[in-house]
Structure 1
Amino acid sequence: MARRTKIYEGTAKILYEGPEPGTIVQHFKDDTTAFNAEKKAVIEGKGVLNNRLSEFFMTGLNNIGVPTHFIKRLNMREQLIRQAEIIPLEIVVRNYAAGDLSTRLGIDEGMQLPRPIVEYHFKNNDLGDPLVTEEHIAAFGWAGQQDMEDILSLSLRVNDFMSGVMMAVGIRLVDFKLEVGRIYEGDFQRLIVADEISPDSCRLWDIETGQKLDKDVFRRDLGSLTDAYTEVARRLGVMPKTSTPMMKPTLIN
């Protein structure tokens, strides 16, 4: 087997040089962390599920004209993606109060917000990804005014798509995190959705019961994270609906 060149390794993914210029192989790991890596575990099968779920969402976005880095899935844990210059921001879109929004503002968790709220965090693990304003972003040159307009538009389009897809299978999209990258085509640049979209980066609640189907299961010790992610995959048709949860899920090719 050919030896691959590792570009980067994070908590949940490894990036390798791709087979063609401008491509990267993204490998999904089973490692899981919370609270700025204070809580850690290896959840067998999580990387497989996140690979397939991120493929599902990215493909859906590409199909409706929202550009992403996704090219194709290579195997159960890896996908081929476009190389992009990642803007050092985490974009959080919130539809309901939850997590640190509830803590910061004293808002009851689960309250529906009057409209989607888009927040920006400086992407820096050592600093805990602090909340920043558009003034900070402009002052430090992380993104220009046109970039910010494009990021907002992308984020809200992803929110519309994701909210509709989830509602159709009885799941409430509470909030989610995006990363955005720049790609260059000749003299022009455009922004694309990068990183991943999966239960690791979303808050997902069952509409009827309020059951959490995202990484809060791990954060709050609410049960099996694999079972929660498997349920999301099953409802979306990524897994057979008649299958039973297992540590190494069998997914539809």
Structure 2
Amino acid sequence: MRRKKIYEGKAKVLFEGPEPGTLVQYFKDDATAFNNQKHGLIAGKGVLNNRISEYLMQKLEEIGIPTHFVRRLNMREQLIREVEIIPLEVIVRNVAAGSISKRLGIEEGTILPRAIVEYCLKDDALGDPMVTEEHIAAFGWASPQDLDEILQLTLRINDFLNGLFLGIGLKLVDFKLEFGRLWEDDQMRIVLADEISPDSCRLWDVATSEKMDKDRFRRDLGNVEEAYQEVARRLGVLPEAGPVDIKPPRVMQ
């Protein structure tokens, strides 16, 4: 099938959807780290992330979190609503790890006194720099009202996912969210966009503190595919046939 490509990112491709206001989100096996300085392939990652993100988006919808997700189409693709992406990465930290440990000298694994929410500008060329609410308001990336709504949604998502992952023996160390503006009949609402998967979350085994996420790729720890499969297995969404490959649709010239 030939489809018009709208956008290609590091881990996903967006194609024109079957009806107005929709897109098809295709999950790739590509893995990147350190702002694309490190690149590789994780066999079956796209299949697993598609299933994991579908499951988590549906669970969040059930508690009233609006998302761009419509339905899964096949092993690697989802139908999503087209949204105007807000150019911010919203990072939630429950446990010190990664950049916050380096920046502030906090030992990795330290439980933070409260969930810390950080904002980064989505700009690969600049290395996704951290920004403050002052920057966001001054440069018009989001209005104060948008930001209030984003923060409220983010804290609710964190509470819910913390409990969900704890129930399957995983600690939600930190994670990244993206939001978009959904326009319907001249009405705008903020919705959760992008994906939630081991690509965008740090997940540690509660008993062993073993890393079950993309840090296994970042830090050359090995068994990356197995870690993603284990997260999917614990969530109960491991594909029956295993990570079967599906070729991307041919792109219209």
Give structure 1 regions of 4+ aligned residues with deviation exceeding 3 angstroms. Answer: 246-249
Q: Is residue 57–residue 197 contact of structure 1 (8 Å, CA) maintained in 2?
A: yes
Q: Is residue 25–residue 78 contact of structure 1 (8 Å, CA) maintained in 2?
A: yes
Q: Which residue of structure 1 lines up, in the alignment, with residue 248 of structure 2? A: none
Partner secondary structure for residue 165 of structure 2: helix
| Structure 2 unaligned residues grouped into runs of 5+ | 246-253
Q: Which residue of structure 2 lines up, in the alignment, with residue 220 of structure 1? A: 219
Q: Is 1:177 aligned to 2:176, yes or no? A: yes
| Matched AA of 1:194 | A
Q: Which residue of structure 2 lines up, in the alignment, with residue 118 of structure 1? A: 117
1:196/1:175 CA distance change after superposition, 3 Å: same
What does residue range 225-236 of structure 1 map to in structure 2 within 5 Å? 225-236=224-235
Q: RMSD of aligned C-alpha atoms?
A: 1.5
What does residue range 1-253 of structure 1 map to in structure 2 within 5 Å? 1=1, 3-239=2-238, 248=244
Q: Is residue 212–residue 227 contact of structure 2 (8 Å, CA) maintained in 1?
A: yes
Q: Is residue 83–residue 181 contact of structure 2 (8 Å, CA) maintained in 1?
A: yes
Partner secondary structure for residue 72 of structure 1: strand
| Matched AA of 1:131 | M
| Structure 1 unaligned residues grouped into runs of 5+ | none
Q: Which residue of structure 1 lines up, in the alignment, with residue 251 of structure 2? A: none
1:248 positional shift: 4.5
| Matched AA of 2:44 | G
Question: With structure 1 as the length reference, what TM-score do the two structures score?
Answer: 0.94
| Matched AA of 2:119 | Y
Q: Is residue 90–residue 176 contact of structure 2 (8 Å, CA) maintained in 1?
A: yes
Distance, in Å, in 2 between the alignment partners of 1:199 and 1:42 is 14
| Matched AA of 1:71 | V
Partner secondary structure for residue 169 of structure 1: coil
1:60-105 per-residue CA deviation (whole Å, 9 max, x = no partner) reads 0111110000000000000000000000000000000000000000
Considering Cα pairs closer than 8 Å and 6+ residues apart, tell me whether 1 or 2 has the greater RCO.
Answer: 2
1:129-181 per-residue CA deviation (whole Å, 9 max, x = no partner) reads 00000000000000001001000011111101110110000000000000000
Question: With structure 2 as the length reference, what TM-score do the two structures score?
Answer: 0.94
